Structures are given as C-alpha cells and as structure tokens.
Structure 1
C-alpha cells in the first residue's frame, strides 16, 4: 500500500472514527436515559403490584369474615356436620373466586377441604396462629401454584375454628392487574424451587420468562440489567407478603430495552445514510489531497530505499522551497555523510586500532575467499608473543601497544603472498597462499629472525619471545575457522616447547571431536558397567608380605580396545565426569575389600581421588555409607590424593579430608615431590602416608643424587610421623636400597604389575602373602 493511499485512508479513517464515536456517544446517552426511565417505571409498577394484591386480600378477608358469622355454618361446625360445612364453603368460595376453601381446627388439623380429603395438618401454621387475633393473609406456593391464602376465625362466641380461602394468583389475575394499572408488559411470579433456583409460576400478558435469567444470582431487589433470549431487560423484583412455612414468592417486573429503542431505529437509518454520503465525498477529497502531498514524499522514499541498498549516489535536486524541499536537501547531505561514516565504520570493524592491520574477522573472510577461488595448498601461521602478558603487567598497555604496532610493521612485508592480521591481543595471523609445509616452516623461521630483534625504545630493550604455530590447507582443515583454531593450538604447543615453531599435530590436540565422543562413551561405560579395577600389590618391607593394593582403573572399550587411563582420566576431570568415575571406583573398591576380607585376605585398598572430588562436601558421607553397606572397616581403606589436588581449593580440601580422617580412613599424598606444596603445608593435612613419585625411584640404583634425595624424604617422613611408600620400583637395586634406608612399602613391576582381582587373590593364596622379588606377576 503506497503513501498516497495510506494518506487518503488516514483522512477517511479519521472521519469514520469521529462519526462512529458520535454514534456511540449518542447511543450511550439514549440507552442510559432509557434505562433510568425503565428503572423508574419498574419501581412504580412494583409498588402498584403489592398495593393491588393487598386490596384483593382485604376484600376477600371481608367476604370470608361474613361467612364466619353465618349462624348455620357455625351450628354445622359445632355439630361437626361435614356435608353442610363443605356445601357452605363451596358456595361461598365460588362467590369470592376462591379455588380452595378449608376449615381448620384450633389444633391446626384440616377438618374440611373443598379440594382434597380432610385430616392432614394445615401447612401454614403461622397464618393460623396469627388469625386468632385478626384475619391473616399471605401469598404462598402450593402444588406449583401461587395462592393468596386468607385465614379468618369463627367465633361462637369463642373461637371454635378457622376458615382459610385460597385465591389463585395465576396468569389471568396478573393480566387483570396489568389492565387495571400501567404495569410493565413483562410480569412474572417466581418461587424458589427444591434445587434453590427461581422458577416461574405465573405470567402476565408477555410470556417472556424472567426466571431463567435469575439462575445463580440473588433476587434483583434493585433494578438490574439482564439478557433474555438475546434481548436486554431491566428487571426488578419485589417480595410479596409471605408465610414462614411457604417457599418465598416474589413478583418480578421486566422492562425491555429493545422495545424502548425501537422508535429510534428510523432516526439511526437516516443518520447512517447521511454519514455514508459524507464518507464518499470525504474519500474523493482525501484522494485529491493525498495525490498532491504524496508525489514528492514518494520520490524521497525511493531515494531512501536506494540509500538503504548501499547506493549513495546523490539524487536529482528537487525544485521546492517548502518543507519537503528542505527535507530533500537534508536527505542529500545525509547520504554523503552516511557514505563517509559507513566507510569509516567498515574500516574500524575490519582493522585493529593499534596496528592498523586487518582483524581476525577480516582475515577469516580473506582466507575463506582465497579457499573458495583458489582451492590449492596454503598455510596459516599463528605468530604469538609469549612475553606480552608479562610486559603488560610490568609496563602497562601503552608500551605493549607500541610493541605490537612495531611487530605488525615488521610482519607487513610477509603479506605479499596473502594477508597479515592481528588475531588476538597477543597473536598475529599470516595466511600464505599456495605455500606448502616446507615453505611455511622456512617463512616461520624468517619471521622469528625478524621478531627476535628486541624492541628498542629510549632506554628499554624488550624481547617479546615469539613463537609460531602452523596449520596447512587442506591437510589440517578445509575451513578458514578450522585452520585458525588449529594454528592457534599449534602455537600453544610451540609456546610450551623448546622449538618455537610447531606444526599442528592432531594426536596432541585436546579439542578433537573424537575426545568429546570418548566422554560420551565413558558415561555409557559407567552406565553399562564396562569399567574394571586392577590391583597393584604393595609390599611391606618389614616382613616381605603383601598387605595392601592400589586400585587402578581399566577400560576395555568394545570397539577401541584398551583405552589408557592417561587418555580418559584427564578428559573426565576437565568435563566434570570424574566425580561419577570416583563414585564407581569407590563402590567397586570397597566391595572388593569386603570380598577379600571375607576370604581371609586382610588387604588395605588404596583408591585415588581427584582435585574435583575434594570440592564435594558429600564425599565423606558417601564413603561412610559404602563402608557401612559392605561392612568394611575404615582402616582397610586408604584414599590417595596428589599435592596439586589439595592446593586447588586448600580450605575446602582440608575440611573434606578432616571429615574422612575422622571416619578412621588413612590418607596418602600420591606422587610426592613433584607437586607444589611443602612439608610445612602438608602438616596441616590429616595425612598418614606419603608416596615417593617414580620420577625419583626409576634411576635409584645408579643416580647418587636420587639416592640422597630419597633417603632424605624417607627420614624426614618418618620424623614427621608418616608412613613412606615408594612407587615405580622396577629393579632389585632400587628394592634393596629402599629396604636399607627404612622405607615402609614399595610397589611397582619388580613386585607385581596391576592384576585382576582373581589373579591377585590367586597370588595371595599361593604365596601366603609373601612374594618372590624379581619375578613379575
């Protein structure tokens, strides 16, 4: 829909809205006035209904009073002459219009009834009691009909009985009342039924039933608006004089709003015709006005659309001096300003502010374009400055920015075959189009020579320690993002190695997708119980007996075969799955300890914990539950942890370890001597054992320095109250030396490799806990 049509529609819509608002306002005023008039009429009618029924009651009471003074009737009552009494009641009932006449004894028993057999109790005892003083009357509901029940006493000269006359309040009577006075056409008598719903029992001339509209609501004793048969009515109820023993009866009057509004319909039709004519004229005028206003606006809209598509060519000048002409001139100036600003923004978005080199996003786009147009060989070099974080911390960002600017200038000459970009705060990316591995390595060493010259500034001389990672296309990736990521991984490898140049090696990539798959398969292995524990014996040197074993996790993958623990344990620690692994190892190891104890093998089972396990405040509770479940003594379990695991969260770790020690479990420091802690710090921990790392024991038979260090560790450990275990014992010379220096336990291939539970048990049974040293199991 174009602007011209929208403008015309705006004019017409405004006109229609004003007319509709006026119509609604007029309708609302008229409707409120009619409702107020209806409420007034209903109030007058309700009072009239009650007054007319009271007049009927008074006349009938007088007539019945005349009957009660009849001597013959009193004599018949005194003599209990039922035929005479019934004859008198029927004759008099016909004269006064009563449908039912009753003679009621002073005890409340119906002695004569012109409609039903006598003998029952008079249902309206309150009227009978009141009639002993004066005639009593009320509108009652009886057998689904409404009656004026009038009760008068019979004296002879004392009260001897009561006469009750039931005048039907039916449709005919209501219609007669409507003729006698200006009552509303809708008049209905209602009573409350057994289901507590109002039910109509008599109607006036208009047969519209008001009772269904009263469902679920109280009797409308004030004027109320209701909907009956898709029509709106104002209704008002008035309670009639009623008996305590009868369900309530009320007169409900209705005032039809539809009937009241009917005379206004012709006026509304005439008004609508005038409005339609006015709208037609207004539409024609609106179209003419919109045409003159819209043409220049449409030209400006077309120019704005062209600008939106990136076409900033100036539009043809508009010869107008009014506001539209000023807008056109402003739009032309804005177009030129946008073109300049967009070019500046694009440059800033694609370039580094410090070095003025393309940024990572721009470099990735260039590489992607090169790969799509020339899908030949190529190399991506990621150049990193290892010392830059230290330079920032020492000298600030100002010096580091100047250093990076200088490094970028040194790298620019290498962009002749591709592009040089600043990839991160500390890294540059260099894409070499068509380069193979040899070219890439050669250029990498040339870059090292260029960047190896220290940065000079006044009295400063800064060596940035450059390193380079290389990813090759298509060997290491087909996508630009993949090459960037893998070149960065190669750079990390170079930063941690002696050789400052490294080519991406998939086997050392910790972020390979197959490693993520391995974690999924590890979770499945835990669920399917595919993991196994092997146990490496620990020999007590004091008596050459095996009194313990270290539980070592093994995973026999159904497709991959044996997966080394060094492959999946570090991944489990990084991904958070290590806690599930630890729970499985604890459950399996403690269960195995129970089995061996039951068979007479008193072995202390050592189980390894990770750093993440020491953050688990529920670990001591879980271990205690497992010990209780399998009836294993805490002294038969040793939990091993590394120094680095304790150093991660020392406060939390100390609390968890103290709770484990309080259970009676011994704790051991594994790989002692290669971590970050000191013996002074370890004194804070409830540790009972230290295990000398295999790094110190592998050359124990030949290296004097290792011998001295191991002897010192054993002596110091004993003085501090620790048991000392040496790991990785593979030679007799190492074994004998450890015995000589007083080491408590040894383990390693010289004693036995890690065995399956049945194999270890067979070994214990065969040797009785002793071992032939030098024979590998």
Structure 2
C-alpha cells in the first residue's frame, strides 16, 4: 500500500487516531498511578516522621529510667557523699555498660564534672549536659539529642537526691542501627541519620538502613536546593527515585547539625501496578490491529470509485471528452460522478469562451494586451531571422476621453471606442498590421517588418483621420490623440522594452501636445532626473535641509511690525543654496509640496510659540498650494501641530493663490471653510494675476487680500498700476477684507499705499526674506520711517 494514496491515508488516519487515544489513556493512567503513588508516599513520610519522633521519645524514656535506677542506688549516693572517686567511676562504668550507655558523667551542683567514663569529655557534650541539667523539667529527669564527635547521641540527666540534690548523673546513648532498624520494621521507610561536617562543608552518614554507597550518595544529595528542613523532595540515588523527608534532630554550638532522612522508593511503590499497565498495552495493540484491518476495508470501498474519477479527470485534462463516466451510485460519490459527466459535456464550450476572454477585448473585438504582446514577440522573432529586420509599434491614447465619459456617460464612451477601433482598422496600409486595444482609451498598432519612416507615415495618417469629428447618438465629438513610436532593434530587444518605451513616448506626446513622438533615451533620462530630484527632496526633509526664511509684514499707517510671511529655502549639502523656483514647481507636480507645507507650518509654530513665551506676538503667513487644498486631512494635520505647541489658530494666516482655488473650486472651498471654522485667518495671495471669478471671491471665507507685487513696484511711475492698486484696495475694503501690498521697495510707494488706505505691506524697503536669527535681529533694530509724521495732504 503506497503511502501517498488516499486509501493509505485513510488507514493511517484511523490508526493514528486510535493510537493517539490509546496512548493518551495509557499516559493518563500511568500519570494517575504515579501521582497516587507519590501522594501515598507523602502520607507515609508524614506518618513515619511522627512514628520516628515517638520512637526517639520512648527510647529516651527507657534510658531515663535506667539512669534513675543508678541515681537511687544507696551505695552510689554514699560514695558520692564520701567523694570516693574510684567507687564512683566503677559504678558509672558498670551501670552504663548494663543499660547500653557509652558514656556516663557525675556533675556536681556547682556544674563541675566530678567523675566521667570518658578521659576527656567532648566540649559540646559538657555544654549540652550543663544546659540539660539547668532545664526546669530536669528535677524529674530530662533527655536531649546531642552531637558528640561526628555521631548523634541521646543523653539523659537524672538528679541524685539525699534528700536534696547533691549531684547529677548524665548518661549518653548512641543512636545506633538497632533504633533505625526498628523504625524500618515499623514503617517500611528507609532511615538515615546524617551529621554535618565541622564548618558545614558537607554531610556524613552516621547510621543508615541504606547500603554504604547509597548512604554516601544520599549525603551528597542533601546539598540540593530543593531539600529543605521538614520538606518533601525527590532524590535520585543510583538510578532509583526516592521521595524523602528531612527531620532536624540536633544542633551543636559549633554549627554541626544532625538530621534524620526518611525515604521511600517510588519504584517500589508503583511496582504492583506494572502488571495492569502491561495488560492495558496489550489491549491497545490488539485494538490498533483490528482498527487497521477495518479501516483498510472501508478505505478500499471509498477510493476505488475515486480512482475511476481520477482517470476521467486525466482524460478531460488531455482534451478527450469522448468517454463518459460509468459510475452509478446513490451516495456523494455518485453525485460527484454526475457532476463530472456534466462538466465533460460543457468544458469544450467553456474553453472556447475562456480563450476569447483571455486574448480578445470584449468591447471592440480587437486583440487585447496579452495577445498583442504575443504578436509583438512573434514579430521580433521574425525580424531577428532576416538581415536588418525591423518592426515598429504605435501606442496611442485619446485626448479628452475622460471628459466624454464624465459628460455623456460610459455607454456613450463605449460606443465611441468601438467607432475609434473601426476607424483605426480602416487606416492601416501595411499588409500585416494589427490593431489592439490595451485598455481604457489606449490602442496599439503593430507594424511587422516596417521601418521608422513607414511607422511615422502610419501615425500621421491616423492623426489626420482623427481630425474628422465622430458622429454618435446625435452628438458630434472632436477627438485628438498622442502617439508614441518605438521599434526593434533601435529602441529595444524585447516586447516588454518596446511596449514600455512606446508608452513613454506616447505620454511625452500628450504632455507636449505634439501628436507623434518617437522614443528617445533622453526622455527616460528626464524621467530619471525627476525621480532623482524627488528622492533628494525626501532626503532633504529627513535631514532638515529646508530653512525657514521670514519677510516682515508691517502696518502701513503706524510702521509697526505685525507679522511676517514664511518662505522656504533649500540649503543642499553639495549644491549649496537652491532657490524655490528650482524645486517648488516640481514639488507641486509630484505632491511632495504637502509634506513641505506641513514641515514649514511646524517650524513656524515652534518659532511663534517661542516668541510668545518672550512676550512677542506676531501673525505669521504660510502659503498653501493647490495640492494642499485637495488634501481633506489638512485641517486635522494643522490642528495637531497647533495643539502640540499650544497655539491659537489666530496666530497663523494661510495664503492661497487664485489659481490654486480655481483648480477645483468646490473641493478647495470645502477645505477653506473647515480651516476658517477652526479660526485660521485666510488670505488671497498674488491677487490680480489669475483668472478667478469675483463670485468665488465673494463666497470664500477669506480675511485678507494681497495685491501682487507686479502692480505695486511701478505704481509710482505708472498711473495705470496705481489705479489698479487703488481699485483693488477699495474692492477689498468693500468686501470687508484686510488689504496687503507686496513689493514695497521705496518710501514713496509706502506713502502712496498709505494714502490709498492700504492696511499692510511687505517688500525690500522694510526687509528682504531672511533667516530666523537675522529676522529677530532686524525686529529689534527696526524703526519706522520719519515720513509717517508728515502731512497726508498728497493726492494720488
């Protein structure tokens, strides 16, 4: 059974599902067993701790009872009374041996050791003995756990009374293997007594029910971070996992500790469940085998008809529609077979329709762009096959077609395109020429084997044909076109290159209005230079190369500085100072001027905010372009900038040229209305040089009218200019607008404007455009001309 077949995948799916279910159940049971075993061991350890503590207490009571027998012995008390050292030492040794004490001492009421079975009693033993006899409960005998040397002992202290306490007998009993063996027998737990080395540098096993190697390894495991006092932790000892609990027993003054470690093997605890796990595993294996057999039978019933349908699909894919589908079933596979039969009968018709849609324009029945590209490739291949072979293409785009669509409707536009297609076909004179519609109002003509002269002649013939108006639906339409020409091998070696370069030439022809343009590499160079300039403008914005220049605006009546016009200058790191005429028109064409306007308003807002903190309040004018007015997000952008610098919109005047308003009056007015409602002052810049309507001027929410400098500069010598300026001032005032004159370059012009009632002025007489720092210096040094104090009895 091959693994990539559906039958194999169905069988594999069933087996995988069963195996996963069985493994999940097996894992769950195994985990439950392990969890129950660990919980049971934890309970055993807790109970074992209690048993071990009780066992130690019972052992201490037994030892205390043995010491009391010695303390009640009359002869021993008499020997103490007579200070018979030999008798005392003999009694201590003999009685200690009988009750299992490895050490015995007689301590006087003054705390001095009067007799001992040890030649040199351990310092810790002495201190522990003294502490024991000083406990309140020691009057009836007391017991404690102490560390002597590197071993743990239980010591008992019993008073010797005659009838008052005359001395104390202290006896020490080692915690030996018998004690922990009893604990092992009672609880099935492994028990180890560990004593830490002097200085706390490790542990050593004192006594243990484990083997010597295992107890040594246990001593190393005590250092693990998880093994804490009276905590339950898991230990690994020679591959066996133990759960352990540590019980502190004693601590010496030198820092030595003695602990009891109770352990229970997890492997021993779960061993009874292994047989159950083996049975479950056997059941799982048998279930998988039965499921594999059943799934194989079911998969074969499903996949057999599917293989037949796959053979039918292969025949249909190869174009053979002769043999029908023979499967007759009532289930989903039968319905699938019926669908295949229906598809077989219809696929031929659909193939023809798809081919037509893929290679033919549905509106004009001409070849579309895909088919034209294939025809061009064939023409290039044929030209390559002959010496000096050539071929040319003409790409044409209609003039004013968008306006026809907008005014007369798309249905009229479609009929017009069909007529253009027929007229183009009628103008072809080359025997193998082909016309195609590339999309929209773009057409292309292929001239296989034609040279450049023939292509030019064909293009001129088409242009002359389009000069005759087209009559359609009782409408007469005048159309023109721009035609670009590119040819093989002069202008490109591939169909993509020729199409691209013919399109470049076509757009150049439309832009220049020259009718026909043959592709020239210089055209692409100009496009590349434009792209390079756009890249440089973007880099300049990122590097803050655009400088803010200011030209003062003054009140003509008082000579007071009331504001300044913000102007942009570009200081290129390599080309130096670049005038605005060299980049502003391109920025407006490409739309980059929007980012430039935002940048300038940011700089103006920052400066205005700084001046206001110093107590200087000026109104700054910022120019807006036609592209700015088309941006519906412009008011929100300006509002965010003002909020950032905590400025009122009244601190800014936005100047708009007449031509910018006339590009799209409705959209421009919408933007201006929103800016005006925000509180911005609006002004018309260069008034008198455009073609605006007074009706638009009346409806716009403007506050200021700026007279273009071409009328102001020569008004002293030219009476006509003076009349125009006076009329403009009167017009502005009659409309309730503030009037500003630019181009004030002499004191006489200032005086004339003042006599005419002009409100404000700017020009070289007051100050040229200057950087911010120089403007601030100029602001401090400005003094109004003396003629403002003269009489105003001069008539114009």
Task: Tell me, in whole angstroms, the C-alpha distance in 2 between the residues paired with 1:84 and 1:571.
Answer: 125
- What's the offset of the Cα at 1:63? 0.8
Instruction: Give 3-state SS (helix, strand or coil) of 1:453's partner.
Output: strand
Q: Which TM-score applies when normalising by structure 1?
A: 0.65
Mapping for residues 109-128 of structure 1, pairs under 5 Å: 114=118, 115-117=121-123, 121-122=127-128, 125=131, 128=134
- The yes-or-no answer on 1:443 pairing with 2:462 is yes
- The yes-or-no answer on 1:455 pairing with 2:473 is yes
Task: Tell me, in whole angstroms, the C-alpha distance in 1 between the residues paired with 2:543 and 2:442.
Answer: 46
1:260-303 residue CA offsets vs partner (Å, 9 max, x unmatched): 53995899599879969996x99899889978976654454455
- What's the offset of the Cα at 1:25? 7.1
Q: Residue 692 of structure 1 is aligned with which of 707, 712, 734?
A: 707
State whether residues 191 and 247 of structure 1, in contact with CA within 8 Å, keep that contact through their aligned partners in structure 2: yes
State whether residues 242 and 248 of structure 1, in contact with CA within 8 Å, keep that contact through their aligned partners in structure 2: yes
Task: Tell me, in whole angstroms, the C-alpha distance in 1 between the residues paired with 2:130 and 2:274.
Answer: 51
Task: Tell me, in whole angstroms, the C-alpha distance in 2 between the residues paired with 1:490 and 1:71.
Answer: 140
Task: Tell me, in whole angstroms, the C-alpha distance in 1 between the residues paired with 2:459 and 2:265.
Answer: 99
Mapping for residues 756-767 of structure 1, pairs under 5 Å: none
Mapping for residues 399-414 of structure 1, pairs under 5 Å: 400-414=409-423
Match in the other structure for 1:470: 483
Match in the other structure for 2:378: 373
- What's the offset of the Cα at 1:710? 3.4
- What's the offset of the Cα at 1:671? 1.2
State whether residues 395 and 442 of structure 2, in contact with CA within 8 Å, keep that contact through their aligned partners in structure 1: yes
State whether residues 717 and 724 of structure 1, in contact with CA within 8 Å, keep that contact through their aligned partners in structure 2: no
Match in the other structure for 1:156: 162
Match in the other structure for 1:97: 100
Task: Tell me, in whole angstroms, the C-alpha distance in 1 between the residues paired with 2:533 and 2:315.
Answer: 54
Match in the other structure for 1:650: 672
Taking structure 1 as reference, are residues 54 and 22 closer, same or farther at Cα in structure 2, changes over 3 Å only? same
Match in the other structure for 2:741: 725
Taking structure 1 as reference, are residues 439 and 529 closer, same or farther at Cα in structure 2, changes over 3 Å only? same
Taking structure 1 as reference, are residues 338 and 508 closer, same or farther at Cα in structure 2, changes over 3 Å only? same
Task: Tell me, in whole angstroms, the C-alpha distance in 1 between the residues paired with 2:252 and 2:138.
Answer: 17
Mapping for residues 721-760 of structure 1, pairs under 5 Å: 722=738, 724-727=740-743
1:725-769 residue CA offsets vs partner (Å, 9 max, x unmatched): 254999x9x999989967789999999999999xx99xxxxxx99
Taking structure 1 as reference, are residues 437 and 743 closer, same or farther at Cα in structure 2, changes over 3 Å only? farther
Gaps of 5+ in 2: 381-390, 426-432, 448-453, 612-617, 629-633, 662-667, 778-783, 787-796
Task: Tell me, in whole angstroms, the C-alpha distance in 1 between the residues paired with 2:621 and 2:286.
Answer: 93
Match in the other structure for 1:397: none
Gaps of 5+ in 1: 393-399, 594-603, 626-634, 662-666, 762-767, 771-777
- What's the offset of the Cα at 1:557? 6.3
- What's the offset of the Cα at 1:714? 2.7
- The yes-or-no answer on 1:187 pairing with 2:203 is no
Q: Residue 580 of structure 2 is aligned with which of 565, 580, 583?
A: 565
State whether residues 108 and 121 of structure 1, in contact with CA within 8 Å, keep that contact through their aligned partners in structure 2: no
Taking structure 1 as reference, are residues 259 and 553 closer, same or farther at Cα in structure 2, changes over 3 Å only? closer
- What's the offset of the Cα at 1:254? 0.8
Match in the other structure for 1:387: 403
Structure 1 residues 213-222 or 60-69, which shifts more? 213-222
Taking structure 1 as reference, are residues 438 and 169 closer, same or farther at Cα in structure 2, changes over 3 Å only? farther
Q: Residue 61 of structure 1 is aligned with which of 51, 59, 64?
A: 64
- What's the offset of the Cα at 1:220? 6.8
Task: Tell me, in whole angstroms, the C-alpha distance in 2 between the residues paired with 1:488 and 1:177.
Answer: 103
Mapping for residues 268-667 of structure 1, pairs under 5 Å: 268=278, 297-301=306-310, 303-304=312-313, 311=318, 313-314=320-321, 321=328, 328=337, 330-336=339-345, 355=363, 363-375=368-380, 376-383=391-398, 384-388=400-404, 390-391=406-407, 400-414=409-423, 416=425, 417-421=433-437, 423=439, 427-434=440-447, 436-437=455-456, 439-440=458-459, 442-444=461-463, 446-447=465-466, 449=468, 452-456=470-474, 466=479, 468-473=481-486, 478=497, 480=499, 487=506, 493=511, 512-524=527-539, 565-572=580-587, 574-575=591-592, 576-579=594-597, 582=600, 609-610=623-624, 615-617=637-639, 642=657, 649-650=671-672, 653-654=675-676
Taking structure 1 as reference, are residues 647 and 151 closer, same or farther at Cα in structure 2, changes over 3 Å only? farther
Q: Residue 4 of structure 2 is aligned with which of 2, 5, 12?
A: 2
Match in the other structure for 2:172: 166
Taking structure 1 as reference, are residues 681 and 110 closer, same or farther at Cα in structure 2, changes over 3 Å only? farther
- What's the offset of the Cα at 1:713? 0.5
Taking structure 1 as reference, are residues 683 and 31 closer, same or farther at Cα in structure 2, changes over 3 Å only? closer
Instruction: Give 3-state SS (helix, strand or coil) of 1:368's partner.
Output: helix
State whether residues 198 and 215 of structure 1, in contact with CA within 8 Å, keep that contact through their aligned partners in structure 2: no
- What's the offset of the Cα at 1:321? 4.9
Task: Tell me, in whole angstroms, the C-alpha distance in 2 between the residues paired with 1:241 and 1:26.
Answer: 39
Match in the other structure for 2:226: 216
Task: Tell me, in whole angstroms, the C-alpha distance in 2 between the residues paired with 1:112 and 1:388.
Answer: 131
State whether residues 361 and 368 of structure 2, in contact with CA within 8 Å, keep that contact through their aligned partners in structure 1: no
Instruction: Give 3-state SS (helix, strand or coil) of 1:380's partner.
Output: strand
Instruction: Give 3-state SS (helix, strand or coil) of 1:374's partner.
Output: helix
State whether residues 550 and 566 of structure 2, in contact with CA within 8 Å, keep that contact through their aligned partners in structure 1: yes
RMSD of aligned residue pairs (Cα, Å)? 6.6
Q: Which TM-score applies when normalising by structure 2?
A: 0.64
Task: Tell me, in whole angstroms, the C-alpha distance in 2 between the residues paired with 1:122 and 1:484.
Answer: 108
